[in-house]
Each structure stands twice: as C-alpha cells, then as structure tokens.
Chains A and B, each alone.
Chain A
Amino acid sequence: MESTPWESELTLDLHRQFGSQIIEFASYREQNFLIARAGAVPAIIEYLKLQRGFDYLVDITAVHWPEREEPFDLIYILYSFSRNERIRIKTRIAEGDRPASVVSLYPGANWLEREVFDMFGIEFAGHPDLRRILLPEEWTGHPLRKDYPITQMDQQWVREHIGIESGQ
C-alpha cells in the first residue's frame, strides 16, 4: 500500500506516550491510521478515549492474511465528535492470541467483538459474553477466514438440525 507518513500534533503526543509500541503512523487517501503492537492497543484506545476525546467507537473488524506470520489484522475505528476526526488503529495478532476486550471502555464493542469471534475465531479476553452471534451456537468453523471455501457449510450441523443432506 502506498501510504504517506502522517504527522500531526496527535501523532507527536501519541509517540511521546507510547514510544516504540506504535510501529507506524501513516495515511492513505487522506485517511489516517496507525499500526501498533497488540499488547499496547487497549492502552492506546483508553488514552485516546479519556485524554483525547475519541468517544465513539465506529467499528471493530479483522482481516485474515494467511501467508503472514501473524495472520490476523485487528482494526479499530474511532471517531471524536469534538474534533470531527476519525482514526484507525491496526494491529497484528497471531493465531491463538487473546487480545483484550474494550467492552469496559465502550459498551458498544460487545456485539462487534462477538462478530469478530464468530467470523474469525479471535477470542477476546475479558469479554462478558463471548459466543457466536450470527451463526448458530453449535456451528464449527470460522467462515471469514481465507481457508474456508465459499460453498462450505458445517454439514453435520445441517444434517442434525435441518434434516437434509446438504444445503448446497
């Protein structure tokens, strides 16, 4: 991605606070984002919320890059009403990592994290109620991963609950 570096008063402040925990500040098509280490992200989000007024969590989502060493990208998008500014925080996590949940800061992260768990299998530590949200409870497999083909279904669940051989 041809991103351009992003420099502003906010980035200098964050750099002062978190130093090497933030790997990169960049901007693509005038949208600013920062890439940070997985362990520091809850602290960064807390700092942004409490000290910098980013009081609205827009979205939490993930991306699967199967060839990479740390295959999952976890992305948080925050917005500040007072500054009218949106910021993206990206981090890389490995298979089996349990990133900390931000539900204590933003109650709206509850369902968003449940959806990331449902679709990717990333478990969040400290989430009050981590279970599948869009797929049935007993489903196995995490569909939005790249190794899950588009026509695959959990055949055993289909046979048990719907009684037909296959949904395709």
Chain B
Amino acid sequence: MATQTFLDANELVLNMGPQHPSTHGVLRVILKLDGEKVIGTDCIIGYLHRGIEKIGENRTYPMFAPYVDRMDYISAVSNGLGYCLAVEKLLGVEAPPKAQAVRVILTEMNRITSHLVWLGTHALDIGAITPVFYTFREREEALKIFEAYCGARLTTHAFRIGGLQYDLYDTFERDVRKFCDDFLPRIDEYEQLLTGNRIWVERLTGIGILTAEDCKRYGVTGPLLRAAGVQWDIRKAFPYSGYERYEFDVPIGRNADTYDRYLVRMQEMRQSVRIIRQAVDGIPEGPIMAKVPKVMKPPAGEVYVSIEAPKGELGYYIISDGTITPYRVRVRPPSFVNLQALDKMAKGALIADIVAIIGTIDIVLGEVDR
C-alpha cells in the first residue's frame, strides 16, 4: 500500500544564504525548487542597509559627497559624478570645460574597472578561475591612476561640487595614454579565453532571457536593456558633462541572454577606451572649479539627474529647502531595480544558472541596500 511520504513532495525550499561566495555581497535568495529546476525565487535584501538617504538629510551638500561613494563601492567615481551633477543643477552652475573633460576620463576609467570586476567575478562564479587574475591585474593599473590623482583607490571622492579639487598631476596624460594602449590587447586576451570557449558558450546562451518588453516593464536599464536590443544610453539621450562632444557607439545585443550581455559589456569597455582617448587628446586649458559659494544654500526646489553608471541608470532626486542641508536625497539605484527581474529570469532555470543570472545582472549590494 503506497503512502505519501515527504519524498513524494515536489517542492523543495532552499536558502541561498547571505553568506555565499557567488551572490556578490550579502544577498539572500530563497529558491523554490522542483528537483533541480527553479520554480520561484524570493530575494531578501537589507543586510547592508546603512540609511544613506537619512544621513543625507543631516549633512551639508559638500559633506555628503564621501558617503555617496560608498553605495556602489566598485564605481565610486560614477556615483560622485551623479551627485555633483545633481547639486550643480540645483545651484545653477556648470563645471568648466577642463573639469568636464577630466571627469569624463575618470568616469570612463571607472566604467572599465567596474566591468573588469564584473568579468572576473562572473567568470569565477561560472567556474573559470583564470580571468579574475588577469582582470584584477588590469584594474591595478587603473587604480594606480586614481590613487595618484585623488588619493584613494576605491572610495575616491574625486569630484567636488562645481568642478575638481585637484589639478592633474604631472604624468597624468602619459599614464592614461599608456593605460589605454596596454589595455586594448588585454580585452582581446579575455575574448580569446572566453568568447569562443565551448564551456562558456554553453553555460551562458539561452540563460536568463529578459526581452525588451520585460526590461521596460521592470524598469531594467544598463547592459541588460542593451543586450535585449534597445539602443538606449543616457550618455546619448540626456548628455551630461560634455559627452555630446565625443564619438562613441552604443553596443546592443540580439538575444537578450547572458552571453549577449557579456558581449555587450566587452564592447562597452572598448568604447570606453575610445572615449578616453578622445578626451585625453583634447583636455582644454582653464580653471578647474566654477564659482560656487563656500556655504552652499541652493534655492528651494527639486531636481532629478541621472547618469549612465556601469550598472544602469543611476538617478539622484534632491529636494532643497534653501538651507545648508538637503531636505531629501533619494538615490535611484540601478542594481535595486534590476534585481527585481531576477524572479522573471530565473523561472525554469537550473540552480547552476541562478549563479550565472545573479552574476549577469551585475549587482553591488551596497547600492541595492544603500
């Protein structure tokens, strides 16, 4: 006589806990499994919540800039750029052209370093251990330039409201050009390691498909949207900091799967090198800081400014009430909004694919939780 035991149950609830090497931070994913296939996920976040938006209401405008670096700590320069652009728009000032050119150079180098971390850790999660050593070696050169410019490698606090604090050091242009020249053959090296590799192709094609319609409905931006075929980049749609002067392409993919996102990010790195070369060839002369008051009291108002961070659309919505501290600082984090789509992408995938999908969304928990 057959009786129902627990072995007949079809669903298994598995916890991919906050301490897990492949979740890129403290992310907890509760998986509902049918054998090895995933039928539902639930993300629990908030382990790294530090209340940065609340801190923003209690610090003056220049004081808040170092806190902003610590959200998406891999691309701290981009975060700083977004915040400085938002406050400059509130004040009604614009950074001088030399500051804009240097900002573009540092931000694009930051895009390269962020994508290098992504590539190294994503490959490591899939099982390919070699790329992480190579990408971190390249990253070392870029971080040396950051350190020589502003004094810190990771939480750079590179830009100030109104322009730059530090002028370029002596060998800046030579270092940046050398970095670009050394870096392009390396991208070819990574492609040689991974792009044609049958293991890589099989593990990545057809996984985590998020069509363009779904991307728009979930509010997903960045390389995920571009891999789905939508050629949209805030640097082209709402240009900031002089991006309209540089020529670059926006790579798109076709199949909206993980392999296409990998190709899109590799192409983005090449385009970043192209932008850096154009910018460093024409750094104009002039002041590095616009006329901003020492004690910043922007007139009462609100502004929403967004930039193309390496992960997607990073937006700052700042409300000022005329005093020295902002009334409300809202950060629209790309990783937070992109992570919602994990549920859609993971239905029907195997457990090993969940790791690939989390890696391809490219989340940084500091930004998801703020």
Contact A84 B237 (CB under 8 A): yes
Contact B217 A134 (CB under 8 A): no
A143 contacts partner chain B, Cβ-Cβ < 8 Å:
yes
CB distance from B73 to the nearest CB of A (A): 18
Q: Which of A2, A84, A133, A143 has the most CB of B within 10 A?
A: A133
Q: Which residue of B lies closest to A1 (CB)?
A: B301
Interface size class of chain B, counting residues whose CB lies under 8 Å from the partner chain:
35 or more
Contact B45 A63 (CB under 8 A): no
Contact B216 A81 (CB under 8 A): yes
Q: How far is the CA of A107 from the CA of B302 in the complex (A)?
A: 27
Interface residues in A1-25 by Cβ distance below 8 A to B read 1-3
Interface size on A, residues (CB 8 A): 36
B270 contacts partner chain A, Cβ-Cβ < 8 Å:
no
Q: Which of B46, B54, B332, B336 meets A58, CB within 8 Å? A: B332
B284 contacts partner chain A, Cβ-Cβ < 8 Å:
no
Contact A106 B58 (CB under 8 A): no
A111 contacts partner chain B, Cβ-Cβ < 8 Å:
yes
Contact B55 A1 (CB under 8 A): no
B69 contacts partner chain A, Cβ-Cβ < 8 Å:
no
B337 contacts partner chain A, Cβ-Cβ < 8 Å:
yes
CB distance from B338 to the nearest CB of A (A): 9
Q: Mark B62-73, 1 if CB is under 8 A from A, else 0.
A: 000000000000
Contact B232 A81 (CB under 8 A): yes
Contact B219 A56 (CB under 8 A): yes
Q: Mark B206-238, 1 if CB is under 8 A from A, else 0.
A: 000000000011111000000000101000011
CB distance from A52 to the nearest CB of B (A): 14
Q: Which residue of A lies closest to B313 (CB)?
A: A58
Q: Give the interface SS of chain B, mostly helix, strand, loop or mixed.
A: mixed
Number of residue pairs A-B, CB distance < 8 angstroms:
94
Q: How far is the CA of A55 from the CA of B225 in the complex (A)?
A: 13
Contact A135 B218 (CB under 8 A): no
Interface residues in B35-85 by Cβ distance below 8 A to A read 45-46, 49, 51, 53-55, 57-58
CB distance from B287 to the nearest CB of A (A): 23
Q: Mark A16-36, 1 if CB is under 8 A from B, else 0.
A: 000000000000110100000
Q: Which residue of A lies closest to B336 (CB)?
A: A111
Known interface pairs A107-B217, A108-B218, A144-B53; A28-B302 also in contact (CB < 8 Å): yes
Further pairs besides A63-B327, A110-B340: 8, Cβ < 8 Å: A1-B301, A108-B220, A134-B369, A135-B49, A144-B54, A148-B54, A150-B51, A150-B58
User: Which 9 A-B residue pairings sit nearest by Cβ, starting from the closest?
Assistant: A108-B219, A108-B218, A134-B46, A134-B49, A59-B332, A1-B301, A61-B330, A63-B328, A55-B216
25 pairs across A/B with beta carbons < 8 Å? A1-B301, A28-B301, A28-B302, A55-B217, A56-B216, A56-B219, A58-B313, A59-B330, A63-B328, A77-B304, A77-B317, A81-B216, A86-B304, A106-B217, A107-B218, A108-B217, A108-B218, A108-B340, A111-B340, A119-B53, A133-B45, A134-B369, A135-B46, A143-B51, A144-B53
Residues of A within 8 A of B (CB): 1-3, 28-29, 31, 55-59, 61, 63, 75, 77, 81, 84, 86, 88, 106-108, 110-112, 115, 119, 132-136, 143-144, 148, 150
Residues of B within 8 A of A (CB): 45-46, 49, 51, 53-55, 57-58, 89-90, 92, 216-220, 230, 232, 237-238, 299-304, 306, 313, 315, 317, 319, 327-328, 330, 332, 336-337, 339-341, 344, 369-370
